[in-house]
Amino acid sequence: MTTTTITVTGMTCGHCVGAVQEELRALPGVTDVAVELNAGGDSPVTITSERDLDDDAISAAVDEAGYEVK
């Protein structure tokens, strides 16, 4: 298992968290996504996966949810 931590900007509520989690969980190999919401600020997101994830794929998934990796 591999753990990757990123920082996502712009999330303000539980719906935001759910959108980011849904997109990241759709990436191949992802087994868990944990978000520590800091409403309106920078929120750490920890992704657990079966293998290393591509940074571009992570950024694209977060972008698809409507947010940005810092």
Q: What are the domain boundaries of the chain?
A: 2-69
Q: Which residue has the tokens 């990436």?
A: 27
Question: Once rounded to an integer, what is the mean pLDDT over residues 42-68?
Answer: 97
The interaxial angle of helices 55-65 and 14-25, nearest 10 deg, is: 140
Task: Answer for the pair 27, 21: CB distance below 8 angstroms, yes or no.
Answer: no
Q: What is the mean pLDDT of residues 3-31?
A: 97
DSSP string, 7-20: EEE---SHHHHHHH
How far apart are the C-alpha atoms of 51 and 12, rounded to whole Å?
30
Q: How far apart are the first and last CA of the chain?
A: 24
pLDDT of residue 63: 98
pLDDT at 39 over 90: no
Question: Can you name the CATH fold of 2-69?
Answer: Alpha-Beta Plaits (3.30.70)
Quote the tokens at residue 6: 């990123």
